[in-house]
Amino acid sequence: MNITLLGCGRWGSFIAWYLDKIGHNVTIWGLSDSPQFKEIKTTRKNNMLTFRESIKVTDNLEDAVNTAEILIISISSQALRSFLGSLTKHNIEGKKIVLCMKGIEVNTGKRLTEVVSEFVSEKTGVAVWVGPGHPQDFSKGIPNCMVIDSENNALKSELIKEFSSELIRFYVGKDLIGNEIGAAAKNTIGIAAGMLDGLNLSSLKGALMSRGTREISRLIKAMGGNELSAYGLCHLGDYEATLFSPYSHNRKFGESLVKGEKFELLAEGVDTTKALVYLGRKYNVDLPICDTVENVISERITAKDGLSELFIRSIKEEF
C-alpha cells in the first residue's frame, strides 16, 4: 500500500521504518525546520533507526498527501486541530486516516477522532492505533501487541491485515471511546508513577495501577464506552511501558517535576490531565488520581502531600 507518515518524531519515524520493513511503499513528511526532519533528510537515520532508501522523505505536504492511500498522523495531540486545517486544504477525499497518537483536546475535552470528524466527510475512514510498546524496543526486535479501532469495521479489518507482523500483533478494537480515553489517560497515570519514583515510593505503583484502572474505567463508562476497555491493551496493558520504562516521557516528567529538574521533551499527559479533570466534572465522575496530578502540576499542592493523601493517609473501601 502507499502510506504517508505525517510527523517524524519517535513514533512517526518508527512507523515509517516498520511499514517499509513489512513491504509497503512509505513516505515520511515533516516540517522543513524541524530538527527531527532535518536529521532524517540529511543522514537517513535518527537516534533509534536507519531508514532504507525505499522510504521517501519530504517536506511537501501536497505531494505527501497526493501519493497516499493511507495517511498516518503522529504529531502532538494538541496540534491536531491546526494541522487538520492545513491538511484538508489538499484533496483527502477517499483516503484513510489513522491516528497513532494518544491524547484528548485540552480546550474541548474531545477525543481525537471527534476532532478529525469536524474536518472530513463520512467517506473518509478514520481509525486509531494504540497500545503498549516503545520504538526503542521495537527497533531491537522486541515484539508487542497493539490495538486498531474504528467505527468502520471494514477499515479495521483491512488495517490489521496489512499492518500485522511477527513484531506487532494487532487486536481488533471494539470500543472506540474506551480505547481513545484509555490510551490517553494512561499518560496521566504515568506522570503519577514518575512522582512516586521521585519520592522513593515506587512500591506504591501496585496501588496506583489498580486504582488508576478503576478510576479510568468509571469515566469510560460514563462517556458511553465499555468500562472493560480500561483493562485492555489501550490502558492497563500499556502500564509497563508507561509506568516503569526509562523511555516513558510521562513517567520521566513526573519524576523530574518532583525532583525540581527541567524536562525538555513532550509529555502528552500534562494536557491530557487537564482534559480528564474537565471530563470528570462534565460527566460527574470522581477522578482522585487525575485531580491530584493536576493539582501537583499546577503547584496547588506538593506531590508528597497529594500522593500521601491518595495512598497513605486516607481510609477508603477498596471496591
List the one residue out of 189, 167, 11, 221 whose CA is nearest residue 98: 11
Residue-wise pLDDT for 265-303, tens only, equals: 888 999 999 999 999 999 999 999 999 999 999 999 999
Numbers of helices and strands, H then E, in the chain = 14, 8
Kind of pairing, strands 125-130 and 96-99?
parallel
pLDDT at 313: 65
Average pLDDT over residues 51-68: 95
Strand ranges (E), the chain: 2-6, 25-29, 56-58, 70-73, 96-99, 125-130, 144-150, 168-172
pLDDT at 317: 74
Please give the model's pTM, rounded to 2 decimal places: 0.95
Task: Domains for the chain: give ranges and CATH numbers.
Answer: 2-172 (3.40.50.720), 177-313 (1.10.1040.10)
10 versus 180: the higher-pLDDT residue is 180
Q: Residue 256 corresponds to which cell in the numbers above? A: 523530574
Residue-wise pLDDT for 117-168, tens only, equals: 999 988 899 999 999 999 999 999 999 999 999 999 999 999 999 999 999 9
Q: List beta partners, residue 146.
A: 170
CA angle 117, 122, 124 (to 5 degrees): 85
Q: List beta partners, residue 125.
A: 96
The DSSP call for residue 167 is S
Percent pLDDT > 90 in the chain is 91
Average pLDDT value over all residues in the chain: 95
Average pLDDT over residues 8-31: 96
Kind of pairing, strands 125-130 and 144-150?
antiparallel
Average pLDDT over residues 54-59: 96
pLDDT at 265: 82
List the one residue out of 84, 102, 113, 89 whose CA is nearest residue 9: 102
Q: What confidence tier does 315 reach under pLDDT thresholds 50, 70, 90? A: low
Compute how many other C-beta atoms are within 10 angstroms of the C-beta atom of residue 293: 32
pLDDT at 303: 94
Q: Whats the size of the chain, residue-wise? A: 319
pLDDT at 314: 64
Residue-wise pLDDT for 182-216, tens only, equals: 999 999 999 999 999 999 999 999 999 999 999 99
Compute how many other C-beta atoms are within 10 angstroms of the C-beta atom of residue 43: 10
User: Are the beta carbons of 259 and 208 closer than 8 angstroms?
Assistant: no
Q: Write out the catalytic residue numbers.
A: 186
pLDDT at 264: 85
Q: What confidence tier does 107 reach under pLDDT thresholds 50, 70, 90? A: very high
In angstroms, the Cα distances linking 171 to 74, 85, 91, 132, 161 are: 20, 31, 31, 12, 11
Q: List beta partners, residue 280.
A: none
